[in-house]
A and B are shown apart, each in its own frame.
Chain A
Amino acid sequence: MRNSALPQIACDQDRRRFFGIAGAVALALAPGVSLIAYAQSDAPTSAAASAKTRWGLLIDTTQCKPSCTACVTACSSYNGWKNEGRPTDPQWIRKVQVSDPSTGFSRSVPVMCQHCANAPCVEVCPTGASFKRADGIVLVDRHICIGCRYCMMACPYKARSFVSENLSGQKPWAPRGKGTVEGCTLCVPRVDAGKVPACVEACAREGNGAMTFGDLNDPASPIRRALAHHPAVQLRADLMLDTGVRYEGL
């Protein structure tokens, strides 16, 4: 009896140790697993951005309705920012009503970060928090942004916002934090997952399909073909910033 009881006790101890280790491993992995679950829908297809690609956006202002704000709503919803009409509220994208005072010609134009090749925000940032990916997407690294706001002073397009108060309910794929600067990311998690930015998708669904997203370096891409056949301009082209966002019909 004594001899037969020993393996039983040893077996119980092994089981307890197994469950103990399994529990510890589960506790350690849980946050990571949760994050993976959060990001599953926009999981990146490749590890690193490539300089072979230059992501860009073509906006056909002739197709953009003044009353439509689908792109703004979609951006706000996907990235989790809210504009409640205060001057301190962020606006990653906005509709600007443009009119020529001498002729009355008018357009409604979505304006966001223009993802410049020669981005002034990247040049002036003291810590390198404002940076450009190899594929041309201009981003802010929230971990090293010190909140000096020099990028906001330097941006010709007023594309950046400063977070002036505590936030809650941020989206895991769009990190935001008090005291740092933020702006359009071209929905980089979606782009890395092979999708188009939220504004482009909303414009196609609810608007007139005025936005075309694609690779400016690829001669076969729809955006490149459209740019080859229709006149398009860069905002403040005189600054020679080589913007990734182009406008048709202005």
Chain B
Amino acid sequence: MGVIHYREIEGRSAGFWGLVGLLAAFVAAGLTAAWFMEHIGHIITGMTNQVVWGLPHVFAVFLIVAASGALNVASIASVFGKVAYKPLARLSGLLAVALLIGGLAILVLDLGRPDRLVVAMTHYNFRSIFAWNIFLYTGFVAVTGFYLWVMMERRLNGYTRMVGTVAFLWRLILTTGTGSIFGFLVARQPYDEAIMAPMFIVMSFAFGLAIFLLVLMAACKGTGRPLGDATVMRLKNLLGVFAAGVLYFLLAFHITKLYEAEFRGAEAFLLLNGGIYTFLFWFGAVFLGGLLPMLLFWLPQTRRSRVAVGWGSASVVVGGLALMYDIIIGGQAWPLSIFPGMHVSSSFYDGVVNFYAPSLPECALGLGGSALALLLILLALKLLPFLPESLVDESVEPHSAAAGTSTAPGAA
């Protein structure tokens, strides 16, 4: 591999500013929604005392999980020494930070008292995985920011492997923490499994890489920079393996649940007769999130197609959101088992499947946070040299000699 030249994107076209304007409009809509939610209260959302975490959490957890996964490309280059991934490492770090900030913004603005964020920063209960996550999330931004600096500052390049290893371990612990938020909920039958932590890690591999591929292809196409087949096909094959990995973990998770009699009611609900949740699991998570991408990536008719790679990656993202909705909302829709084996009823919706329909402010907040992540990526690409000038196969071919880096100063 020869010297990699990184350069800022030009960012002067009407298309660029149009995209910035569109994303900013979504961010503004999200902030407006948050303002209404804070001033009027969560009464304007679809959330209730039965379903306490709604659509904003679906987007937030998805983005946070995807953020740690987006760092994988950099980790493969720095930690595992695969030079073919090295030109993509900066973009990988950028996506990780931006996606995490987008997810955290949603999470914070969905709090009942977002004005008390400083309380969350000054009062800690270290038995709470949530409290640990506050450190893990902010620490991830700091570590990945430092990692990016080390990668971009030639004099510090020698520390890339060391800092990259810290960032890699940090992201594994972070996603363990995110999965454990649900895995630790012993009272709720759809959760309460230690396997949720590693399952979330594999989910992060898939979601993060799918978003990475989409951003990479869009950025190269939008700026006219060449992107070789070798890079796309390598990443595509990896994404296919990750999608299969998610399916494997879902299988192991649900088989474990089905083996235990106490969970069979909840499993029947989620997998067989749960209406929207059953649909989202089988069509969303399993088909769109796993089977369709694998078919698109590996069928002889589509395996060399860039369009198929794009659709397959988008399918992983949509399937991932469906899976997150299924886990977070579906898990709360199933009623608590306070009196196991008994029929129960009350004025507080005991014993019934809980209803939830997301409201417009929730959609606006969720999309606003996602738009914030994309906006940060777009502006960062204009301001700093994250993207290589060329990713043609010859420039990223791993059989060549040791890699070097150089940064072309200034925008083109």
Contacts and interface: CB of A to CB of B under 8 A. Distances in A.
Contacts of A162: 42, 47, 49, 52, 112
- Which of B53, B117, B119: most chain A Cβ within 10 A? B119
B187 A239 contact: yes
Q: Determine the main DSSP class of B at the interface with A.
A: loop
Contact of A235 (B125, B127, B131, B339): B339
A91 B348 contact: yes
Contacts of A152: 49, 52
B50 interface: yes
Given A95-B346, A158-B348, A158-B350, A128 B41 contact: no
Contacts of B111: 146-148, 179
A193 interface: no
B112 A178 contact: yes
Contacts, number: 173
B257 to A, nearest CB: 17
A160 B112 CA distance: 14
A157 B338 contact: yes
B82 to A, nearest CB: 38
Contacts of A75: none
Contact of A165 (B43, B119, B184): B43
Nearest to B191: A153
A90 interface: yes
B123 A124 contact: no
Interface stretch (A8-16, A81-89, A212-220): A81-89
A127 interface: yes
A87 B128 CA distance: 28
B119 A146 contact: yes
Given A91-B348, A153-B52, A146 B113 contact: yes
A98 interface: yes
A180 interface: yes
Contact of A94 (B48, B50, B52, B346): B346
Main secondary structure of the interface of A (DSSP, over half): loop
A179 B38 contact: yes
A126 B131 CA distance: 4
A63 interface: no
Given A98-B344, A178-B112, A146 B186 contact: no
Interface residues of B, number: 53
Nearest to B337: A236
A64 interface: no
Interface string A115-141: 000001011111111000000000000
B282 interface: no
A164 interface: yes
A166 interface: yes
A100 B41 contact: no
Contacts of B345: 96-97
Contacts of B342: 98-101
Contacts of B127: 122-124
A43 interface: no
A147 B309 CA distance: 41
B119 A96 contact: no
26 contacts: A95-B346, A96-B346, A98-B343, A100-B342, A101-B343, A111-B346, A120-B187, A123-B127, A124-B184, A127-B119, A127-B120, A128-B124, A144-B123, A146-B114, A147-B112, A148-B111, A149-B52, A150-B130, A156-B336, A160-B49, A166-B41, A179-B111, A236-B337, A236-B338, A239-B186, A250-B339
The 10 closest A-B pairs by CB, nearest first: A147-B112, A179-B112, A156-B187, A126-B130, A87-B48, A165-B41, A127-B123, A126-B131, A128-B125, A149-B52
